[in-house]
Chains A and B, each alone.
Chain A
Amino acid sequence: MAEPAVPRRRSPAEGLLEGSHLRELSFLAQAELRVDAEEADAASRMAEQFLGCPLPGPGRATGHGTPYVLWSGPGRYLVVDSEATGRGLCAGLSAALGGEYGRLCAAVADLSAQRTVLELSGPDAEEVLARGCPMDLHPREFGTGSYAQTVIGKAAVGLHRTGAPGPSGGATAFRILVRASFAEYLARLLTDAAADVRGTRAGAVV
């Protein structure tokens, strides 16, 4: 008897972003870590052994690539990894913190399916985001390694700056974490905003 066909896994913004400076980094493993505010220092030390980086302070991200950690609120952190699976990331993080009845009052939850990640790059990326985001995204205020949860249009997003132009080179790049059900809306909004910016700067590439 033939094996039943497994439906192909479809990412939230699939097929919307070809040929633009916006791309989707789909299916990244994401785990939320919650710790008691009084135990944040101890949790940071213990998590660092597994993550390779300390837990970030307010408005910041730590780590490079796999994994990296985003500050999402007092005592709340989002760990993102492009190589691990969500389940594996949670198991490793939980073990590093001492397990279910460990020394810390901490909780780890697999949120991989909640959000997808869009990456926006190019010299006009800030201009494009400013079409829908109320924050000041100038590199002076929101430099590389900054992370903020804010809104773009009507979508609540996490905004992570991964690159800024500087004296030693580098290019503007943002990662935008958006809920799967808002991914299509946001992808269309940003594509439209990019076309608008391109129109107002005739000849500029977005």
Chain B
Amino acid sequence: MLLIPCPWCGPRDEREFRYGGQAHIAYPADPAALDDRDWADYLFVRDNPAGRYAERWFHASGCRAWCDVERDTVDYTITGSCGTGAHPAGGPDEGPCTSPYCVRRAVPSGGGAR
């Protein structure tokens, strides 16, 4: 089982969470301009890296808030977690990130939370 750091509650067992797929998928700026292939890409096609992957988790049995978690798909190391939208892809941050497990903090030697 994973030990997932919730930005508000701290490290919690995986069974308190629900998985929410890849994080930072931006809604198309002009959806009407997309052809079927681009729309299908937006809806269904996700990255599948062997390595660091940003994904959403919902703390369903805890504080009932969503968070963005960065997890390595090979060795399951979790680098950190932030509130949703704290670091939007391709845009500036919305104010300072208050998560003590922020993925952009200096990672201590030896990796993050397991």
Contact = CB atoms under 8 A, between A and B. Distances in A.
Interface of A: 58-59, 72-74, 76, 134-135, 148-151, 156
A151 B17 CA distance: 11
Given A134-B16, A150-B61, A156-B60, 19 more contacts: A58-B63, A59-B8, A59-B9, A72-B63, A73-B62, A73-B65, A74-B8, A76-B64, A134-B12, A134-B13, A135-B13, A148-B9, A149-B9, A149-B61, A149-B63, A149-B64, A150-B16, A151-B15, A156-B61
10 contacts: A58-B8, A58-B63, A73-B8, A73-B62, A73-B64, A76-B63, A150-B12, A150-B61, A151-B13, A156-B61
A73 B12 CA distance: 14
B10 interface: yes
Interface residues of B, number: 14
Contacts of A58: 8-9, 63
Interface SS of chain B: helix, strand, loop or mixed?
loop
Contacts of B13: 134-135, 151
Contact of A151 (B16, B63, B64, B83): B16
A73 B61 CA distance: 11
Contacts of A76: 63-64
Interface in B45-79: 60-65
A134 B14 CA distance: 9
Contacts of B12: 134-135, 150
Contact of A150 (B8, B62, B83): B62
B1 to A, nearest CB: 8
Nearest to B64: A73
Contacts of A134: 12-13, 15-16
